[in-house]
């Protein structure tokens, strides 16, 4: 990776973290509820992807 790519990545990560920090300060209750909801969606998506890959390996995906 180039230094320029790394610098952009670090700047974007830093700006994202600043945004999360400001969001949590300004909209405390709503922001934390949003993060919990997004985390729940991410966990559900990961569970579905894992279940799909496990069923595909066993040949059960054709049944569903």
Residues 1-52 have pLDDT tens digits of: 566 667 788 898 989 889 888 888 888 888 778 888 888 999 999 988 888 8
**Can you state the angle between helices 3-26 and 28-58, rounded to 10 degrees?**
120
H or E element at residue 5: helix 3-26
pTM: 0.48
Chain segment 38-60, per-residue pLDDT in tens: 889 999 999 888 888 777 776 66
CA 63 to chain centre: 30
Dihedral angle, C-alpha 54, 46, 43, 13, nearest 10 °: 150
């Amino acid at each position: 990776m180039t230094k320029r790519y790394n610098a952009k990545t670090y700047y974007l990560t830093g700006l994202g973290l600043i945004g999360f920090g400001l969001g949590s300060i300004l909209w405390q209750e709503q922001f934390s509820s949003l993060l919990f909801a997004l985390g729940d969606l991410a966990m559900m998506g990961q569970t579905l992807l894992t279940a799909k890959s496990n069923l595909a390996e066993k040949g059960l995906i054709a049944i569903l």
